[in-house]
Amino acid sequence: MKSVYSNPLFLPLTLIFVGVLALMVKTGVLPADIVNLWPVIPVLIGLIGLSNLADSSAMSSSGGKRSSKSRK
């Protein structure tokens, strides 16, 4: 099972996101109250991880096929 944390881009992209967010607060583009929303970040990371887990389990249970519906 592959974790969202095993992606080599995860840490750099997270740091870039946090840095851009801090810069936007510091320059006044975003209100300082946005810092109170920091719990949203781990929730989003968890949701991404769950969706990746659901995708990988769907792939393994369907024999490698993404969906049972056929595309035209």
Query: How much is the average pLDDT of 12-39?
Result: 85
> Residue 70 — pLDDT band, cuts 50, 70, 90?
low
pTM above 0.95, yes or no: no
- Residues 2, 49: Cα–Cα separation, whole Å: 9
Averaged pLDDT of the chain: 75
Whether 69 has a pLDDT exceeding 80, the answer reads no
Q: Which helix (H) or strand (E) holds 40?
A: helix 40-61
Query: How much is the average pLDDT of 24-32?
Result: 88
> Residue 64 — pLDDT band, cuts 50, 70, 90?
low
In angstroms, what is the C-alpha Rg of the chain? 17
Each domain of the chain, given as residue ranges in start order, spans: 1-44
